[in-house]
Amino acid sequence: MPPSPQPTRLRPLSHIERYSSTRHPLGIYRCVVFTCRYQLASPLTRPQLYAALASVVRAHPTLRVGILGQSTNSPAFSHVPELDLRNHVAFCSVDDAASVGEYEDAVADKQGWRHDLLWQNIETQPPWQLIVVRPPQGLFPAYHEDLLFGYHHSIADGTSGKVFHEHLLAALNTPLDSSHEEASRLLSFPDPPLLPEAQQDVIPYRNTLPFILDTLWHGLAPSWLHFPKPCIWYSRNIDFSLPYKTRVLPVDVAPSVLSSLITASRNNSTSLTGLLHALTLVSLSLRLPPDEAPAFVADTPINSRRYVGPAADPSLLSTLRVLISGTSHTHPPPEVSSVRNAHADLDGIIWTIARRVKNELAATMSRLPVNDPISGLDYISDWFQYWRKKDGHPRDSSWEISNIGVLTGDPLSQSSIAAITRIIFTNGSMVAGPPIGLGVGSVSGGGLNIGISWQQNAVSEALIKGLAGDLASYIDAFHETGKFKS
């Protein structure tokens, strides 16, 4: 039997795509999961779902490529000429859930489980999966199914997860004839796809000399020549030997409560992202002892689509791809001490911190793509050495809040069969990154979800549950009383 032909090599992965591709063979990051709850007129059939998925796959080239050389510093996308949707779709029924709460726990557990799986046959099988989770019949007033979209971070970013579900929803609500549905599980793509360009090729980065020198200094100079970093809380040192098990804990915010938060944030010259950073800071400051957590650093990813220049192909801008940047916010000891002061005006402090975070984020976004740290990834020639050097050392930040904004999910109508009513967006365990991730997003006309994710035993479960409880109680208290804490 002749050997199988080698996959056709497409463009090399961009610097930010290599950032994720090199973490995968090391096992320190596996995938993103973006889950949507679909309200349906009736249970999804496999042909119906395959037909809708076929439309999505045809529209988004990164859903039909593999990755060659993931264990090298020169990975590239590969052409996958045929795709069988049976390899990308799974159905799971939660029959033993006696309540909505038990079912929600099962969905969160399934989301964490999907985060932990490594992608198999990644050279010839596109690294993404859709898991349909079904509740017991009659658990909800209307019929619902949760669709978990797990995907390798090198083929799509957080915003792309939202785009995927919006396109899938539109495809489900587009009638197709039965012959098309039956044929759509086997997809053929004989010609190599036109892929979205590498991020560094479509964003016109411009770096000043001080920024370049600072980047090289921190990357090349010995550690003993650097100014000492402030002592921050990061839970525990990076540990590659710790079992990779992701835990997920969602916090739901009702539509009316979300409306209160948005109005108050605008009235206080801040944003929902800024406010959630401030509330997270308050919770962790009050739950951790001062000697263990004198200060914190928090990260905020940024959607970089707004910085794409005229060289980019406009037809590819809205496809699934990776276009991201980010910034950090330092919460120094005096600020943390003020939160811990029992006599302080805590609500006033919360709004002050929320405004500062929002202003820092706005300043970064107005400056980009000048002096974007992402452009400095070009200086890393050996990513595997870069990651391995982090093992055993402190983390650089305490938590990350990634806000993907509002997903368009129109309510169910006589002309549609599906609507989206809830999302859970989470990162997998960031072994070499912040110990806590908060994925934030909402559905148009609906509520907000904060998906908290962490690596089991890298962070105390009691601390995470305390954080989730605090966020829920602070937000509910504000809606009811106008104050986060009495």
DSSP code per residue over 197-216? PPHHHHS--B--HHHHHHHH
Give the pLDDT mean for 106-121.
98
Whether residue 183 is predicted with pLDDT greater than 70 in this model: the reply is no
**Would you say residue 216 has pLDDT above 90?**
no
Structure confidence at residue 485 (pLDDT): 85
**Helix or strand holding residue 454 (H, E):** strand 448-455
Least confident of 354-358, 411-415, 457-461, 468-472: 411-415
Domains with residue ranges and CATH for the chain:
8-188 (3.30.559.10), 200-399+446-481 (3.30.559.30)
Q: What is the pLDDT of residue 359?
A: 98
Question: What integer is the mean pLDDT of 385-403?
Answer: 97
328 forms beta bridges with: 299
Query: What was the pLDDT predicted at 376?
Result: 87
> pLDDT exceeding 90 applies to what percent of the chain?
86
Q: Compute the distance between CA of residue 223 and CA of residue 88 in angstroms, rounded to an integer.
A: 45
Residues 149-157 have a mean pLDDT of 98
pLDDT mean across residues, the chain: 93
- The predicted model scores a pTM of 0.95
Residue 78 — left, alpha, or beta (φ > 0 → left; ψ -120 to 50 → alpha)?
beta
